[in-house]
Amino acid sequence: MKYFKQFMIILSITFVGEFLNTVIPLPIPAGIYGMVILFVLLQTGILKLSAIKETSDFLLKVLPVMFIPAGVGLITTWDRLRPLLLPLLFIIVFSTFTVMISSGHVTQFLIRKGHSAKKGGATHDNLE
């Protein structure tokens, strides 16, 4: 019963994300809305991690299985994808580096902001 309750909590957040996707006219996937809602609920303490931990651990363990249909879809449409291979490869490489660089800058900004906020407390530099 515990797993059912945890799954229903996760499913409810997913449905709220789907609802927001239909109501808000932005090109944001419903899954992103759901992840943001879950993040906010966990960060504010409205939802405790223990309320969904076991089910979310299970879902993370079976996540690789969810990529099998996508892989099969790529294999079955290879003839149509072959002419687009070079542009797709460029886009993938470019977007990967863009995400890595922007993530690094945001992380450095947040670390510096955290250091300036702590002043005198335990910092990353002091812990090494």
For the stretch 81-101, pLDDT in tens is 899 999 999 999 999 999 999
Residue 127: inside a domain: no
Residue 125: inside a domain: no
| Cβ–Cβ < 8 Å for 21, 28 | yes
> How far is the C-alpha of 34 from the C-alpha of 47, rounded, in Å?
14
Other CB atoms closer than 10 Å to residue 125's CB: what's the count?
Answer: 8
- The total number of structural domains in the chain stands at 2
* Domain encompassing residue 89: 69-118
In this structure, are 22 and 43 located in the same domain? yes
In this structure, are 37 and 73 located in the same domain? no
Q: Quick one: tokens of 6? A: 């945890």
User: What digits encode the pLDDT tens for the residues 34-85?
Assistant: 999 999 999 999 999 999 999 999 999 999 999 999 999 989 999 998 999 9
Instruction: List the beta strands (DSSP E) in 76-120.
Output: none
Rounded to the nearest 10°, the torsion over CA 111, 92, 69, 8 is: 30
Q: Indicate the pTM of the whole model.
A: 0.61
Residue in the block written with tokens 């906010």: 40
